[in-house]
Chains A and B, each alone.
Chain A
């Protein structure tokens, strides 16, 4: 049942992916100027100085600028599906290679933030709901408000000042791959993870608290108590599973938000993930890379939402039969 559902949901992401591909393709069409030059990273000055006739001609052929746009799109999509995202004029290597080199850093950061955020959010959100108007509730409320009113970059700067500059405990920029030096990897990933996790957690806490309070009023909770179950079972077995059902559906959203937030945070910490790459590429007018990165980020968001859907189905006995 679940496998069939997973496949069906996977197929249902195809229209989304199609729309994303159209948008990404069109982005470059919207940039004013000669598209061949744009894709070659030309940024003013005398063309002949920077770009040879041969390079220009090769790009003209690759883009097929004189063909009808739909045909250009189909050709572009065909190449993209085969993993050919073009070549970065800046780095002179395939965009795919650049992205794949940077992708792990972003995935590690996203996963670490989601895990840390969840580890903070679930106990705090549940405790806040169960012990309303106690110090835990106030603490949770504090985290939520902090996450809402303080922009991520400000938190990042404060953390950099405190742990990096003042205390000198942690590096404030850069990255080390885990396979090279795991401890250094952890040290580098800590600060950006905290910033993203706090933002993620503050949203999730708010949601869990509200939902949990609602769930506690449900009849099935009274039944669980009437059975003589301990409060621990009532909360962490009976209410928790129902509440997670609702929470998982918002996790998809929050993860998308997290990916957006990571652009700023990766840049601030000079953390070489694909979000930072995106920003760098925009500044460098490296549109081939921009296109490639946007596709990847979109893919990741779609995939995360897909995972949230599957998790929801796993928790919800009803959905598999609908």
Chain B
């Protein structure tokens, strides 16, 4: 059963010059309880805006102009700010890309974790402190007890991200949104933090929306993958089969642009369009090697592909053949 069901999510930014920019355009996807969905795409494709919409933490210039965000049967897009506050940090949590700045420099990390217990579970200081230390142990911060009274600046990026994970998972949420949680970290640290997330996701049976542009990491972490390009979803599918046989030329291009030993590196030609003036038809057509006339005129909807049954969706008039085509 889907814990999160995003339907036709559309987010518009009101720009300073009076124009609008559609940062997320009719995006739909679902995440089941305990499932990991990877959201990938180039910089500026709308991944963070999607995540922040679910949290209802968008900037004031941004507005959810259409769509529904069904979480556990209720539409978050319709919730009041007060209702959202009981959901954020308790039932849906989020960790961010920038571990160095995401914690409050003026408070101890212990306070920043125990605060969540006091806020949502109405615990006293003693109880919340005990629980915070437990969380530090769960995210494998060494000397959890001594950690409590320390300040963020006393920790490295990797440790700070663990503190963020401790904050996010403190109240045992149903859904965790991780927006490029390791992009800012060294490769070795990255692996450690990912394994902490993966272990806890597994232990707690968390649904996880994992945003990244690192396809290797997504392949390793995720059950399902959604590929975003210029505010729209291009392809959604089960992770192993999608990586083995992409059906959308954009996904194919993305996979080909990963450096691999023994294979020529072929980056996708051209650059992403300006979101203020998206191209007609398929948004990828100016860069697509297979584009035809129809692609320039008609916008392809995200739809199930033949052979039915594997759950693959793609927004393409002329999808690739899949696993067979790559060989």
Residue numbers of A with Cβ under 8 A of B are 218-220, 222-230, 233, 238, 241-242, 245, 315-318
Contact = CB atoms under 8 A, between A and B. Distances in A.
B125 to A, nearest CB: 14
A88 to B, nearest CB: 49
B106 A245 contact: yes
B102 A229 contact: no
A307 B94 CA distance: 40
A218 to B, nearest CB: 7
Nearest to A223: B102
A315 B120 CA distance: 27
Nearest to A222: B57
Give the one of A222, A228, A233 with max B CB within 10 A.
A228
A228 B98 CA distance: 19
Contacts of B55: 226
A220 B87 contact: no
Contacts, number: 72
Given A228-B85, A228-B120, A318-B151, A218 B101 contact: yes
Nearest to B57: A225
B115 A227 contact: yes
Contacts of B98: 219
B119 interface: yes
B57 A220 contact: no
Contacts of B84: 228
B65 to A, nearest CB: 22
9 contacts: A219-B98, A220-B103, A223-B167, A226-B55, A226-B57, A227-B89, A229-B115, A242-B105, A245-B106
A226 B94 contact: yes
Contacts of B103: 220, 223
Nearest to A220: B104
B105 A220 contact: yes
A247 to B, nearest CB: 13
Contacts of A220: 101-105
Nearest 4 Cβ contacts at the A-B interface: A228-B89, A228-B88, A227-B89, A317-B151
B153 A228 contact: no
A229 B119 contact: yes
Given A220-B102, A223-B96, A226-B94, 19 more contacts: A218-B101, A219-B98, A220-B105, A222-B102, A226-B57, A227-B88, A228-B88, A228-B89, A228-B90, A228-B116, A228-B120, A229-B85, A229-B89, A229-B115, A230-B85, A242-B105, A317-B108, A317-B153, A318-B151
Contacts of A222: 57, 96, 102
Interface residues on B, range: 20 to 34
A220 B85 CA distance: 17
A227 B119 contact: yes
Contacts of A233: 119
Contacts of B85: 228-230
Interface string B305-323: 0000000000000000000
Contacts of A226: 55, 57, 88-89, 93-94, 96, 168
A318 B152 CA distance: 10
A248 to B, nearest CB: 12
A219 B96 contact: yes
B128 to A, nearest CB: 13
B86 interface: yes
B23 to A, nearest CB: 17
Contacts of A219: 96, 98, 101-102
Contact of B106 (A223, A227, A242): A242
A313 to B, nearest CB: 13
B88 A225 contact: yes
B270 to A, nearest CB: 32
A246 to B, nearest CB: 11
B151 A227 contact: no
B57 A227 contact: no
A258 to B, nearest CB: 27
Give the one of B86, B98, B105, B119 with max A CB within 10 A.
B105
B77 to A, nearest CB: 17
B159 interface: no
B49 interface: no
Nearest to A320: B151
Contact of A317 (B87, B93, B102, B105): B105
Contacts of A316: 106
Interface string B152-164: 0100000000001
Contacts of A230: 85
